[in-house]
Structure 1
Amino acid sequence: MPTETITIQTEAGHALEGSLELPTGLTRGIALFAHCFTCTRQSKAAVAVARALSKEGIACLRFDFTGLGGSGGEFGRAGFATDVADLVLAANYLVERFEQPVLLVGHSLGGAAVLATAEDIGADNIAAIATIGAPSDVPHVLERIKGDLVAIRATGEGEVSIGGRAFTLGREFIERVESVDLIAEVNRLRKPVLLLHSPTDAVVGIDNASALFGAATHPKSFVSLEGADHLLLDSRDAEFAASMIASWAHRYLPLRDDWPMPEEGVVVKTGHGKFGTEVHTDSHRFLADEPRSVGGDDTGPTPYDLLLAALGTCTAMTMKMYADRKGWPFEGASIHLTHERDHAKDCVQCDQERAKIETLDRRIEIFGDALSKEQRERIIAIADQCPVHKTLENLCVRNCE
């Protein structure tokens, strides 16, 4: 997926750094991912979810909270309230840039943060909210901190260890965490909510999901991440969570009205990748791209893949239609197509010095043991009568104003 580096300035004077995962094609929606406590935007869950959403046409910004990863500021003095303020800034950036509501996605404490941030972002700017392993009681994160919190309250700051990493923690951090009533925040939400949680989560127990689900109003949904650990360290768990969120988000991020389906023909629109484009018919949308070996993102078939597919599918349909009309015991076909660029040496009717001949090679395998030799030969012969084959033989491309 195309990735754009984003920098957002805070009122405190430091910058938040993020990675905006863009769809190869057009953008149908936007999302904001909040990472887990002391993690960064490079966590497996953050990367997997952001890229899964981008595959669905949803641009997703994953960024580092204050004092973590590439973002400035002091993590130990920030606290939960600063995480909320960071999310508001990031959400406002996305809404202003793309001019549509945002899907909020949060992992662990990031999940609690997106739930608590909704009111500050504004109902009109939020499409829906999804959380992964979110706590229902924000102060519980203090239990994950190894250090003398009583001394920090008394002296103003002190050294602690969180997840094996050393931090200097301030009194304000502790006070801001303790002041959050997340259940009350969730109960006030009037937005679609999806909660994903593992019953085997040893860090944030499944009872947290039950409390959040009970506090939330409809529409609300729950997905079990059975067997997954809290951080989704197994990439398969991260990808499963990502696919669930992406599928669920479709209901709340409808296709933009300014991308109408063409009444006739095909419309191709340039996307965000180096070669990525989006193809629109009167009833379908899909991507075309180039492989990574030539600088593409490999998110769709190449133009020549589509050309070969057009000939192959039309050939298959024509053969089946003919055999069905005849009532023959045709059981299908396999058609293998390749494209070769220069066959002037094989052409006895052209000037080999001036002409460049390209070929589309087609190998057809017919299935159906009960077919006679004559029936097989006739089905093969009818393949050349397919409309696309005839079009390619008589092709003339015009550029219309």
Structure 2
Amino acid sequence: MHAEPLPRPQPLRFDNARGQPLAGVLHKPAGEARAYAVFVACFTCSKDIPVAVRLARALAQHGFGVLRFDLTGLGESGGSFNETDFESEVDDVLRAAAWLDAHAQAPHLLVGHSLGGAAVLEAAARLPEVRAVTTIGTPATLDHITDLLHSETEERHPDGSLTATIGGQRFTFAPHFLDTLARYSPTQAAARLNRAYLVMHAPADSIVPYGQAHALFDAAAEPRAFISLDDTDHLLRRQADVDYCADLISAWASRPLAPARTRR
């Protein structure tokens, strides 16, 4: 038996807090959606990196509607990246959730990869409809990102900003970007999450150490789950790894996303 073909992904636009257009893509399942989800990509990554596209498609095959999008100043979205910071990233997640609420259904699931995981942990507290959160390869402290930026810095500017090459692209990070990293803690966000939480991380992750995932898991309250991604790399470059994650997320989410009468 062959799975029913998925509908063609739907390109879309919505505005950020400054009225600048953000570009997104909505993946819908073949039938009625079990639930809708927002996927947030890794640090400086666009919505079109392979893991974002493949995971959104794989989750759609499991019955989820998934919105992936470009943060301000990245990919096809408007705005200037050097005017952004971690707070604006969280606000972009809230705007994506608002678009889903207005045009389909409020998201019940948030999935974040790397720094995107830190953003969804923060955003979840402001989205009462969210029932479940999954982070993949996410740091427990944003000092990890600060240290990465300083180690990759190629140029320091008189105003305190710095230029670094991340993932083959040059970015300039303003002082306020570093300031907001210092003010937020994914571990503290996990501790106050009060939603079903799935931590996924690879022991051999060369970008975010495996111990960071344990810190997030230890901080979170029940219901929580931890899944080791075996020999997966940070960017989940293999299709088999993406499919594995989607299978696990789908199975795990079946309980927190089930109607209340089913969960009794």
TM-score normalized by the length of structure 2:
0.90
CA deviation after TM superposition for structure 1 residue 139, in Å: 2.5
Matches within 5 A, 1:200-279: 200-254=204-258
Partner of 2:161: 157
Residue 197 in structure 1 maps to residue 201 in structure 2: yes
Query: Any idea what SS the aligned residue of 2:120 has?
Result: helix
1:209-246: per-residue Cα shift (whole Å, max 9, x none)? 11000100000001110111111112211221122112
Question: Among 27, 36, 41, which residue is 1:35 paired with?
Answer: 41
**C-alpha contact 1:132 1:195 (8 A) present in aligned 2:** yes
Measured in 1, the distance between the counterparts of 2:205 and 2:195 equals 26
CA deviation after TM superposition for structure 1 residue 253, in Å: 2.2
Measured in 2, the distance between the counterparts of 1:210 and 1:27 equals 32
Residue 46 in structure 1 maps to residue 86 in structure 2: no
TM-score normalized by the length of structure 1:
0.60
CA deviation after TM superposition for structure 1 residue 77, in Å: 2.3
- State the one-letter code of the partner of 2:201: H
Question: Among 43, 62, 70, which residue is 2:76 paired with?
Answer: 70
Gaps of 5+ in 2: 1-5
Partner of 1:5: 11
Partner of 2:148: 144
Measured in 2, the distance between the counterparts of 1:179 and 1:5 equals 34
Measured in 2, the distance between the counterparts of 1:101 and 1:173 equals 27
Q: How many residues align?
A: 253
Query: Any idea what SS the aligned residue of 1:120 has?
Result: coil
- State the one-letter code of the partner of 1:17: A
Query: Any idea what SS the aligned residue of 1:23 has?
Result: coil
CA deviation after TM superposition for structure 1 residue 50, in Å: 1.2
Measured in 2, the distance between the counterparts of 1:160 and 1:52 equals 33
**C-alpha contact 1:49 1:243 (8 A) present in aligned 2:** no
CA deviation after TM superposition for structure 1 residue 100, in Å: 4.3
CA deviation after TM superposition for structure 1 residue 10, in Å: 1.5
Partner of 1:119: 125
| Residue 148 to residue 155, structure 1, CA distance change in 2 (3 Å) | farther
CA deviation after TM superposition for structure 1 residue 99, in Å: 3.8
Measured in 1, the distance between the counterparts of 2:137 and 2:200 equals 6
Gaps of 5+ in 1: 258-401
Partner of 2:85: 79
**C-alpha contact 1:139 1:180 (8 A) present in aligned 2:** no
CA deviation after TM superposition for structure 1 residue 256, in Å: 10
| Residue 101 to residue 238, structure 1, CA distance change in 2 (3 Å) | closer
- State the one-letter code of the partner of 1:177: L
Partner of 1:92: 98
- State the one-letter code of the partner of 2:193: L
Bigger Cα Rg = 1
- State the one-letter code of the partner of 1:199: P
**C-alpha contact 1:44 1:238 (8 A) present in aligned 2:** no
Query: Any idea what SS the aligned residue of 2:33 has?
Result: coil
Measured in 2, the distance between the counterparts of 1:129 and 1:226 equals 21
Measured in 1, the distance between the counterparts of 2:217 and 2:50 equals 25
Query: Any idea what SS the aligned residue of 2:212 has?
Result: helix
CA deviation after TM superposition for structure 1 residue 137, in Å: 0.5
Partner of 2:109: 103
Runs of 4+ residues over 6 Å off in structure 1: none
1:19-70: per-residue Cα shift (whole Å, max 9, x none)? 1000111122100000001111112221222112212221000111111111
Measured in 2, the distance between the counterparts of 1:176 and 1:94 equals 27
**C-alpha contact 2:138 2:212 (8 A) present in aligned 1:** yes
Q: Cα RMSD (Å) of the superposition?
A: 1.9
Query: Any idea what SS the aligned residue of 1:39 has?
Result: coil
Query: Any idea what SS the aligned residue of 1:155 has?
Result: coil
Measured in 1, the distance between the counterparts of 2:174 and 2:161 equals 4
Measured in 2, the distance between the counterparts of 1:147 and 1:194 equals 33
Measured in 2, the distance between the counterparts of 1:187 and 1:165 equals 34
CA deviation after TM superposition for structure 1 residue 168, in Å: 2.1
Measured in 2, the distance between the counterparts of 1:12 and 1:100 equals 22
- State the one-letter code of the partner of 1:53: L
**C-alpha contact 2:98 2:106 (8 A) present in aligned 1:** no
Partner of 1:172: 176
